[in-house]
Structures are given as C-alpha cells and as structure tokens.
C-alpha cells in the first residue's frame, strides 16, 4: 500500500461572478492557508494572479505536512457562494463560484515526461518577493507540447528550484488527468445506462445569509460559517472521514 502524499498542490480559480468570484477565490485560499497553519503544515504560494480588488483570478498553493492529502482531497470541485458582496449597494444576493483542484505530489514519478515534449521559458517574477524580483529571470513556465498543458512557478529565488517544482506540478497534473480520463469513461458508461440524474457542477454551497455551508456529496450542513472561513474546517474534514469509514 502506497503511503499518502505529504505534499499537495491546491489550485483555486475564480469562476462565474466577476469580481465577487475572485474575492471568493481569495477567501478560499485564506481558509485553506489558515487551516494548514493550525495543522502545522507549511504553505507557499507558487503562482498568483490578482484583480484590482485584491481577489484572485487564480492562485496556486503548495501545502506540505502529515495528513495533508487525506484531509483535503475532498476539496476538489466547484464551490458556490451566496452572499451580498461588499460592493453591492442595493443589498442584492449574488451567486458566484470558484473551482478547487487538489493535486498530490508523490515522491516517485509515475508519469514519464520526455524532455523533447517540454517547452521551457524563464521570465522575471512579478510582485513582492524580495530584491531578486524583476532583476533576474527566475520564474519558470513549462508547456507540455503533447497535451498543451501549461504550468508556472514563481515562488523560488532560483531557476532550478522553480523548474523542479513546475515539473513536479506537471507530473501530478498529467497523472491526475490520466485518472480523470479513466473515471470519465466509467461515468459516461453509467449515464448511458441510468441517465444523468445528478447535478455535479457544484460540490459545496456557502450561504452567508443563512450561516450555513452545505456539502452536496455527503448531504451535510455546517453552521458558524465565518469561523469555518477563518480556517476552522475540522467539522467538514471529520464529516468526510466519518462518511468514508
């Protein structure tokens, strides 16, 4: 039995909802980062793209520590928020989404990546990060030519470290894509037999007006939403652990 991965990549992207979706993506990144801190895990931002209001169009986090994959693997999917945005003057409730992808980084590389399949570019890092930023081309952008998949890493001070991390992310994405393709084929076969009876586009709804987070996969609701968004995710994590027993 293979040991559970102790490092994961968390990719969070704003979905529908414009600026509010970006703010929600930042809220999710903050929730996971605070939860990681409480668990004693290390957190680093590998890449980020912000909007003018401080929200994230996209952010890529690396989390490392004991139990990190087991406790967060259920977070993959579309998260939906229902609330009145701070910028909303009429008090109207908005519905926005953000997607989360959890990619385990394994010590052994299961996916063989051929050097000739890679296009590697080095650029200058942007944003805060020390005196080295914008002076040396340390940021790495790798394109996997057979799939068109692109990964970036800007967190480290050296080209080599960013290159190593970007390759690890690419390997995890390729492995995840291979697994997803197999699962998708099985799901298509199942739909042909029983029809598409479930709405799979969202896994969880965050309803601030009703102070409730509902996970649609396990059919459970959790209250005290503000506290959960501050990183106190224990109830949700335990809800999935109980479900899997």
Cβ–Cβ < 8 Å for 87, 76? no
Task: Read off the CATH number of the domain in which 49 is found.
Answer: 3.30.70.1660
The parent domain of residue 82 ranges over 7-107+198-240
pLDDT at 163: 86
Give the pLDDT confidence score for residue 199 in this predicted structure: 36
For 197-212, the pLDDT digits (tens) are: 333 468 999 999 999 9
Domain count, the chain: 2
Same-domain check for residues 205 and 84 = yes
- Note whether 16 and 100 are same-domain residues: yes
Average pLDDT over all residues of the chain: 82
> What's the pLDDT tens digit per position in 162-197?
888 888 888 888 877 654 544 455 445 434 433 333
Cα distance between residue 65 and residue 69, in whole Å: 9
- Residues 31, 97, single domain; the answer is yes
Give pLDDT, residue 177. Answer: 65
Count of beta carbons in the 10 Å neighbourhood of residue 84: 15
**pLDDT tens-place string over residues 108-157:** 555 567 888 889 988 876 544 444 444 567 888 889 888 888 888 887 77
Give the residue, 104 or 213, on which the prediction is more confident.
Answer: 213
| Domain co-membership, 202 together with 101 | yes
Other CB atoms within a 10 A radius of the CB of residue 81 amount to 27
Q: How far is CA 35 from the centre of its chain?
A: 14
Burial category of 40 from C-beta neighbours within 10 Å (exposed 0-12, middle 13-18, buried 19 and up): exposed
14-65 tens-digit pLDDT: 999 999 999 999 999 999 999 999 999 999 998 888 988 889 999 999 999 9
Pure H helices in the chain: 18-39, 68-72, 159-194, 225-229, 234-244
What does the pLDDT read at residue 2? 61
CA-closest candidate to residue 18, choices 87, 78, 76, 77: 87
What's the rounded Cα separation, in Å, for the pair 200 and 82?
Answer: 18
Report if residue 2 sits inside a domain: no
Is the pLDDT assigned to residue 243 strictly greater than 80? no
Same domain, 26 and 92: yes
The answer to whether residues 17 and 219 touch, using CB atoms and an 8 Å cutoff, is no
Q: Would you state the structure tokens that stand for residue 183, as one six-digit string?
A: 């699962």
Reading the block at residue 159, the tokens are: 């080209």
Whether residue 134 is found in the same domain as residue 93: no
Would you say residue 28 lies in a domain?
A: yes
Looking at the structure, do residues 94 and 119 belong to the same domain, yes or no?
Answer: no
Task: Tell me: do 119 and 207 sit in the same domain.
Answer: no
Strands annotated E in 29-184: 42-50, 56-64, 77-83, 94-105, 118-123, 139-144, 149-153
Cα–Cα dist 119/164, whole Å: 14
In three-state secondary structure terms, 159 is: helix
Contact (Cβ atoms closer than 8 angstroms) between residue 44 and residue 153: no
Q: What does the pLDDT read at residue 138? A: 83
Return the pLDDT at 89.
78
């Amino acid at each position: 039995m293979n040991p559970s991965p102790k490092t994961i990549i968390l990719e969070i992207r704003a979905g529908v909802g414009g600026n509010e979706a970006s703010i929600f993506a930042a809220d999710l990144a903050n929730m996971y980062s605070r939860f990681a801190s409480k668990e004693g895990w290390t957190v680093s931002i590998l890449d980020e793209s912000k909007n003018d209001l401080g929200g994230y169009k996209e952010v890529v986090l690396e989390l490392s520590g004991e139990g990190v994959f087991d406790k967060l693997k259920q977070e993959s999917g579309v998260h939906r928020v229902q609330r009145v945005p701070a910028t909303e003057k009429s008090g109207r409730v908005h519905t926005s989404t953000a997607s989360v992808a959890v990619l385990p980084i394994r010590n052994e590389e299961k996916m063989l990546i051929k050097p000739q399949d890679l296009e590697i570019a080095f650029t200058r890092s942007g944003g805060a990060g020390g005196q080295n930023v914008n002076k040396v081309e340390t940021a790495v952008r790798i394109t996997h030519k057979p799939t068109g998949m692109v990964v970036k890493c800007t967190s480290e001070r050296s080209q080599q470290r960013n290159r190593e991390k970007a390759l690890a992310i690419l390997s995890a994405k390729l492995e995840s894509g291979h697994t997803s393709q197999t699962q998708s084929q099985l799901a298509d076969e199942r739909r042909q037999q029983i029809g598409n009876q479930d709405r799979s586009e969202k896994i969880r709804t965050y309803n601030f007006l009703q102070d409730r987070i509902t996970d649609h996969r396990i059919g459970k609701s959790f209250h005290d939403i503000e506290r959960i968004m501050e990183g106190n995710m224990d109830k949700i994590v335990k809800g999935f652990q109980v479900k899997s027993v």
